Each structure stands twice: as structure tokens, then as C-alpha cells.
Amino acid sequence: MIFTSSSIFYPAHIHVFIGGNDWIEDINIDSEKIPELNVSLNWECGEGCEGEYDSDDPEDSPMLRFDVYYKGEPVENGSQCTRLRATDNKNLLIEATKIILSKVEDCSFGGLSWAGGDFKRTMERLSWMGIDEYKEEIYGPNELLP
């Protein structure tokens, strides 16, 4: 199932591909602030909790990574493994992707270079966040989390 710009579910700049296992395979969001800036949260790497995903292991989960692109080219330090699972709530994963994009945009608008150490540290911090940390970022610390 593919939701794209023609979908009534998502705005034109958000593209979501759901694979045959009903997992998120790719969420791709184009920046509305910076032309040609794009973030993808995806399962292209085939990673699991302990290396390559093992569908025979009930303890394993397909893990997502994010990639940052500018003008179609990968941004240095913009590709990170995450603690997000492809099986996590789809709407929360879309919101997590928006947060990642927002942090990338903030690095640019703050006068920081995407190639600089601040950008690298920001991307590393985002990679350490699991779905619960993104929920807190989305809903705030005092809200009841879905």
C-alpha cells in the first residue's frame, strides 16, 4: 500500500510506503522550508535489534534508520540507525520523521553547517531516541501518551 501526494491522508510533501508485512518501509518528507531538503525514515538496511533482522527470532524487530538528503545527495553524518521499529505506530513514526526533519532544518537555520560537529551530535542524539522519547517530544512530558 502506498500513500503519496495524491492521498487524502497526508499532505503532498509526505510520502509513506507500507510493505507487505504491514510495516513502515519508508517515510519520506520533503522540507517546506529548505528546497530540495528531504528526510527518509526507512528499513532499507534490513537491520534488526542485534544486527541483520531475523524473522524467525520472535525477540527480533525490524529497526529503522533515517537518511538526510539535500539536492538528491546524502548529507554527511545524516544517516543514522535508530531505536525505532518498523512495527511501531505509523502515525507516531510519521511524527518522529517530522521531528528529525525539523532538527535538520534548525541546524541549517541556526547558522550551523550540516557538516559540522553540532549537526553530527544532533543526528546521533536523534538516533538514540526510541518511540517513547519521540512520544514525549510530540505530546509533552505531562500528557497521557497513546
Note the pTM of the prediction, 2 decimals: 0.82
Q: Is residue 123 part of a domain?
A: yes
Does residue 98 have a pLDDT over 90? yes
10 Å Cβ neighbour count for 128?
A: 11
How many domains does the chain divide into? 1
Q: Is residue 101 part of a domain?
A: yes
Q: Is residue 22 part of a domain?
A: yes
Q: Is residue 144 part of a domain?
A: no
Q: Is residue 73 part of a domain?
A: yes
Closest CA to 3 of 15, 19, 20: 15
pLDDT at residue 46, as a whole number = 86
Domain that includes residue 113, residue range: 2-139
Exposed e or buried b for every residue in 18-47, given b needs 16+ CB within 10 A?
beeeebbbbbbbbbeeeeebbbbbbbeeeb
> pLDDT per residue over 21-77, tens digit each?
778 889 999 999 888 999 999 988 888 888 899 989 999 999 999 999 999 999 988
Q: What is the mean pLDDT of the chain?
A: 82
Q: Is residue 145 part of a domain?
A: no
